Amino acid sequence: MNLHLTRQGATLRLRQGRLLLEAEGETLASFPARQVRRVAVWGNVRLSTPALTFLLRQGVPVFFFSQDGFLYGVAGAFPEPHPDHLRAQFGASALPLARAFVEGKLRSALALLERHGLPEAEGVRQALAQAKAVSTLDLLRGAEGAGSRAYFAGLARLLAPYGFSGRNRRPPQDPVNAALSYGYAVLLGRVQVAVRLAGLHPEVGFLHAEGRRNPSLALDLMEEFRVPVVDGLVLSAFRRGRLTPNHAEARAGGVYLNEEGKRTLLGLLEERFLQESTHPLGFRKPYQELIETQAHRLKAAILGREGYTPFYLRQR
């Protein structure tokens, strides 16, 4: 059971083996404490000390988000990385792993565009070929950027009726970008936990720039799952009417999901994490498990135990 706590001013308490969400003296919801696997706190929601302590002791990660979807951080009783593994992570060659992350992202982008017969697929195909041939990280990042621009130009053909003309953020300027940003925040939290559970340091990455409190490794691994988990879901949700422009509102110079929009998207994301997909190596798992598997396979690659194959959608 995954809890998304969105009621502002509410408090999550532990009482007689249950987690109770309370506000203004009223119990809003009650959950069997030992069945909770993840807790996401959105905005001004409090956890009592007994509740937080219980969750940490049970190994339940607690994600802290702003109301608009910025991931502040993750609390959890994660194992500290082994010193030898840290040394290997610091000493690993960046280009091969960074190339794998970009390849995974662009292959999925290409598959999605080709499924819809969009001409921008050729631009992504060219960027993918460049990414395989470049000899420096800067050139690789340039190829990734070119592929992303072509990809979002293709998505704009499909999502133009909902105000989408391309990717923008900080703040998002249309309902589709609001949903994408919100979805990416949830995905980043899941990937960050997977990286920590694998025994890797989330701030020591290969593709994204490193910086204090910047989870660059989680951002690296997240590239493989942006298209399959978030983009494909948002595209389908708008085109099928499960998300509409009415699920967003303009404020503070941007466009953000309203409460109904957040609840709808969070429900769809939880369904997506449970949906199975096939890894290029042939095995099949739900997306949540694929994320965790890729984190462990990344660790094995860093330690020199095996090569690293990125996850990506297969072309039909």
Q: What is the pLDDT of residue 143?
A: 95
In sequence order, which residues have a C-beta less than 8 Å from that of residue 74 and are 6 or more positions away?
61, 62, 63, 64, 189, 192, 193, 196
Q: What is the pLDDT of residue 212?
A: 62
Residue 31 or 243, more confident: 243
Contact in structure between 168 and 176 (CB atoms under 8 Å):
no
Per-residue pLDDT band for 315 (boundaries 50, 70, 90) equals confident
How many CA atoms lie less than 13 Å away from 294 in the CB half-sphere? 32
**Of 203, 211, 197, nearest to 90 (Cα)?**
203
CA 11/CA 18 separation, integer angstroms? 13
CA 66/CA 27 separation, integer angstroms? 23
Contact in structure between 227 and 272 (CB atoms under 8 Å):
no
CA 35/CA 199 separation, integer angstroms? 25
> What's the whole-model pTM score?
0.86
Q: What is the pLDDT of residue 3?
A: 84
Q: What is the pLDDT of residue 213?
A: 66
pLDDT > 70: what percent of the chain?
A: 98
Check pLDDT > 70 for residue 211.
Answer: no
- Of the candidate CATH numbers 3.40.1380.10, 3.40.50.2300, 1.10.10.60, 1.20.120.920, the domain formed by 83-302 belongs to 1.20.120.920
**Mean pLDDT for the chain?**
91
99-103, 173-177, 211-215, 299-303: least confident range: 211-215
Domain coordinates in residue numbering, the chain:
2-75, 83-302
- Kindly calculate the radius of gyration of the chain based on its CA atoms and give it in whole angstroms: 20
138-142, 223-227, 248-252: least confident range: 248-252
3 state SS for the chain: CEEEECCCCCEEEEECCEEEEEECCEEEEEEEHHHCCEEEEECCCEECHHHHHHHHHCCCCEEEECCCCCEEEEECCCCCCCHHHHHHHHHCCHHHHHHHHHHHHHHHHHHHHHHCCCCCHHHHHHHHHHHHHCCCHHHHHHHHHHHHHHHHHHHHHHHHHHCCCCCCCCCCCCHHHHHHHHHHHHHHHHHHHHHHHCCCCCCCCCCCCCECCECHHHHHHHHHHHHHHHHHHHHHHHHCCCCCHHHEEEECCEEEECHHHHHHHHHHHHHHHHCEEECCCCCEEEHHHHHHHHHHHHHHHHCCCCCCCCCCCCCC
Highest CATH level, class, for 2-75: alpha beta
In angstroms, how far apart are the furthest CA atoms of the chain?
A: 62
Residue that the structure tokens 């809890």 belong to: 3
Q: Which two tokens stand for residue 49?
A: 């000390």
Handedness of CA 138, 125, 281, 187 (dihedral sign): positive
**Of 274, 184, 177, nearest to 226 (Cα)?**
184
C-alpha distances out from residue 299 to 74, 201, 213, 222, Å: 20, 10, 21, 15
Mean pLDDT of all residues in 280-305 = 94
Check pLDDT > 70 for residue 316.
Answer: no
Q: What is the pLDDT of residue 218?
A: 93
Residue that the structure tokens 């994320």 belong to: 291
